[in-house]
Structure 1
């Protein structure tokens, strides 16, 4: 089983970063095309990457305001975002685990390497909005 790990610095408070990570209206600005997410642990939701993946299951595992957001998606991939105040912004530690095969792992590495920089760019724009 393989893991993807990244650390990001975002020029916004943990409160703003947490809101962007957990709010469907913000999620669709940097990650999926569509999102239906409940912050109640265990509640089912979905995300969509159109047209190839119109319905991907997502279940929140943990939602601790301003410090941690964890979910399982695509049935067996666990993602955790851990937020720590850092200077004028937030240090975000991202971990995704659960890849059973190398091809799926490589595809998600490419995906997260595309989407995480979008998160870093998008979050500060919500402060100005």
Structure 2
């Protein structure tokens, strides 16, 4: 397996602006990604995503930096699991969401890259890649469901 990037494409039954809002509004992020955050979707702006393990109460925070924000077309950010570091090229993964109108909804193209650039040994690379692959396969459909619900409420 390559372990170079994770790519997904899915149809979201909501217009691009709603999908963009669901990707950037802390209230919606909490709903679909189960993470606490507060950030401005502007290039160069830092943020933090914080997950709380329900059973242990342990909190895990990861820093991210917005790379591109072109509502309602594109959102990209870099994130790292290295606490105390600013997410930048070379120490982070790059996540990109491209949104294209399709009928009444949106085609979302997702890509996460940068695994090989991290310089991890093979076993660590494989573990991170598989963890993120499984995570995105779980969270992207939840994001689509949240966007559909929000579109129906507007």
The normalised TM-score by structure 1 is: 0.93
Tell me what 2:97 maps to.
Answer: 81
Measure the CA separation in 2 of the matches of 1:85 and 1:72: 25
The answer to whether the 8 Å contact 2:97/2:110 transfers is yes
Tell me what 2:69 maps to.
Answer: 63
The Cα shift of 1:121 comes to 1.1
Cα displacement string for residues 48-83 of structure 1 (whole angstroms, at most 9, x for unaligned residues): 121355210011000001100000012401000000
Structure 2 unaligned segments of length 5 or more: list them.
Answer: 81-86, 117-124
Measure the CA separation in 2 of the matches of 1:92 and 1:105: 21
> What is the RMSD computed on CA atoms of the aligned residues?
1.4
Measure the CA separation in 2 of the matches of 1:8 and 1:53: 30
Aligned residues: 129
Whichever of the two has the greater Rg, that structure is 2
Measure the CA separation in 1 of the matches of 2:28 and 2:146: 9
Tell me what 2:111 maps to.
Answer: 95
After superposing the two structures, state which structure 1 stretch, 17-26 or 45-54, moved more. 45-54
The answer to whether the 8 Å contact 2:15/2:151 transfers is no
Measure the CA separation in 1 of the matches of 2:41 and 2:104: 27
Structure 1 unaligned segments of length 5 or more: list them.
Answer: none
Measure the CA separation in 1 of the matches of 2:139 and 2:40: 21
The answer to whether the 8 Å contact 1:37/1:58 transfers is no
